A and B are shown apart, each in its own frame.
Chain A
Amino acid sequence: MDKNRVSIDQIALLYLLLIMGGKFLTLPSLLAGDVGHDSWVSVAFSFVWDAVCLCFLLWAIRINDKAHLDISAILDKSVSKPVSKLLLAIFFVVFVLRTNVLLSGCYKMFSVTFDVSTNWIVYVLPIAALAVFAIVKGFNAVARTSQLLFGLILIAVVALFVSPLSEAEFGALLPIGEAGWGNIIWTSYSRSFWFSDYIFVYFVLDGIKIKKHVFAPVLTSFAIGATLSIVLNAVFVALFGYLAPDFDMAMSKIGVFSAASTTNGRWDWLTLSIWLLSVFIKMIVFIFCAYKCIEKIFDKNFVKVNWIAVAFVLLTLALPMFVTTEQLLNTVIKWGIIPFTLVQYVLPLLMPLLTKTALRKTEVKNE
């Protein structure tokens, strides 16, 4: 059995975990700094773009149902090999940067919330070990893990943001659009780096099993994930108001409202720890995809794991030892937004067309 084979339902669950995994670390405070109490509107806009692109990507999956072409084959045959490699290189940079931003966020989350500190290498080691395990065992292992943990993580997320609801002043979200609609839309674009979590799907295109429905399960997951993210952002801003930009660890701070009195202890620590599993899964998925990028850039369909490629990917996780997240955000990510848009938003829109072209060329070749 192909170890990278996953069902569309597994993709849907994993996608939901990925949506919840990365958006509750530093993003809410960054958005609050950009557009104040309208940050949730900005998040909503980002999800609108995501929804459109996701529909096109799912359409491409449907087209690719029988042929099971991988992303490299589709791009090679439709837009030529050099362009294909360029796009895969951009993908690689996106995955590495996103993993590193998540790693830094988690590192801070640990020291802030649990008051433990360690050196970067020791902190990264277990995550790297899990990522290697995923690469060796195949994507199916990650998908099965997320299936197993999905319910727990969802309950933890809901528990974390339900508890402060009574403290939040939702009137503070009014008037909607005070930051200016242009500003809100621009923010939603300039912070798009944190969105379009569906990009992992490109790298499992050749292993997706479709039983009946393609759109329904994934779009349902997307709707739940998007709603939770928007609500959490709204709760965050309604709770912290003008102080929101100063609270760069959203989930850690929202959680304390579930521990308002001593009789409750700090059970927010428990729910927070469970939620962090989704961040780990997200990092592992992105490391897996970064490895796949190298595999496809160098035209190798490794039968066994290529340890040089693995070592190279893992080496990139040392980036935060040399550059701070803020430096990354203000340089590479700020200027890289245009090439990133290419793979995050333009490519999905073209995917049905590119897949059809690739299929046509494959059929012609076979004939």
Chain B
Amino acid sequence: MSNIKRIAIVILVVAAVGVIAGSFSGSDVLDRAIILGMGVDAAEDGGVILTAEIVSPGNGSEQVGTFSKTVTAKGETINVAIQNVAELTSKEASLGQCVVLVLGEQYFKTVDFSDLTEYFINHHSFKESAVICCCEGNAMDLFNKADALTQSMSLAITTAILDESEKIAVSSNSLLEYARSQYELDRTGFLNYISFVSSENTDAQLPDKTLGYIGYRQLAVFRQNKYVCTLDEQLVKGMSLFEPQVTGETFVSFEDTVTRTVQVTNKNVKLKPDGKGGFEAELKVTVRYGRTDSEEVSGALTAKNDKEIPQKVLDDVSQQIRSVAERYLAAQAEYNFDLLDFHEAYRQKEGSSDALFNKPMSEFAVTLTVEVQEA
């Protein structure tokens, strides 16, 4: 091949690469409003108020990372509200990094938000693994309290629900799990119900600064994206007893003048259809004295300790577990929601049928066995 041909080929290739690269209309990161988290509230006229926590790089002195700003926009639908956020920031709203979606109290208690769930589950960029939860009061107020946490509100909520909740006996949910629960079987599911809890400010230099933390020990139950009821701390504890991966439930036992706190470190849960339309529930719970040192390490493969919890205490804890679990099962039957997948267990056994999907929870009789042992 002559040199001229070689040069011609190189020029052609460079030109082709230039044309191709220039034709892909991706947008620069500087032109993007990267949304970390979103809060949705009900607007008075029937639309939605969207509060977005945004990390927007390249704004001069603005710091990027845990420092972010919140932008609030209104819209008839969530899509319009997101577009309005883009208009307010003069940047394209990017949902690919959004980790949390919070629904405000008035919104989730009064609105059928099927459209919203469908919008996000079908959204190409929005991650199905993102956390979806609801909050006490307005989502907008919650997001505007980021200063009180001295960190990004979205990241604080995500860390709490994704990483910490299972250690303090609270079940958690992702967008995908929630969306599936609203479309499948009896169509009931839950969202973590969070709140901002103020704490006392003892800082003499900044006496007016609000301090606080995210509380997340409650759950809200939904059927087909409509609010059903709220599970208080005790009911959440009862629910978590049936979930093997969730540990950390604490029980207090009073023996004569001594008060002892024990903590669940491991569980073996068997929840299986009894063949008569009900369930056999077997809870084998391992407990230890509640500690905050390295002894707290939990799991099935931890080293054995010398036995130190009196049998009387174990019996008392067993009784408490039974009571908490039965209270939760009664709430399931009363409000007719299925968070322990009773319908799913029967579907796996017998296949899908409308009769099964419509079977009320009160018709699932549960025989409960509880066994408590020391780790």
Contacts and interface: CB of A to CB of B under 8 A. Distances in A.
Contacts of B129: 167, 256-257, 259-260
Interface stretch (A59-67, A112-120, A282-290, A325-333): A112-120
A122 B20 contact: yes
A262 B180 contact: no
B96 A243 contact: no
Interface string B107-137: 0000000000000011011011100000000
A181 interface: no
A261 B162 contact: yes
A241 B180 contact: yes
Contact of B97 (A116, A171, A266): A266
B125 A167 contact: no
A341 B27 CA distance: 45
B207 interface: no
Interface string A288-299: 000000000000
Contact of A116 (B25, B127, B128): B25
B348 A119 contact: no
Contact of A240 (B27, B99, B176, B352): B176
Contacts of B128: 253, 256-257
A346 B350 CA distance: 39
Given A178-B352, A243-B183, A266-B96, A260 B26 contact: no
Contact of B26 (A114, A175, A242, A259): A114
User: Which label, helix, strand, loop or mixed, suits the secondary structure of the A interface?
Assistant: helix
A129 B349 CA distance: 54
Most buried by B among A167, A239, A249, A262: A262
A243 B177 CA distance: 11
Interface string A247-274: 0010011001101111000100000000
A87 to B, nearest CB: 36
Interface string B241-259: 0000000000000000000
Interface size class of A (residues with CB under 8 A): 35 or more
Interface string B89-102: 00000101101000
A261 B20 contact: no
A242 B180 contact: yes
A125 interface: yes
A126 interface: yes
Given A115-B26, A118-B23, A175-B349, A261 B99 contact: yes
Contacts of B96: 115, 266
Contacts of A126: 20
A115 B127 CA distance: 14
Contact of A122 (B19, B179, B349): B19
Contact of A115 (B94, B121, B176, B348): B94
A204 B184 CA distance: 49
B125 A115 contact: yes
Given A242-B180, A266-B97, A167 B174 contact: yes
B183 A125 contact: no
A171 B180 contact: no
A241 B184 contact: yes
B10 interface: no
22 contacts: A115-B125, A116-B24, A116-B26, A118-B24, A119-B23, A122-B19, A126-B20, A167-B174, A172-B344, A178-B351, A252-B124, A256-B127, A257-B129, A259-B127, A259-B129, A260-B127, A260-B129, A261-B162, A261-B163, A262-B36, A262-B97, A262-B155
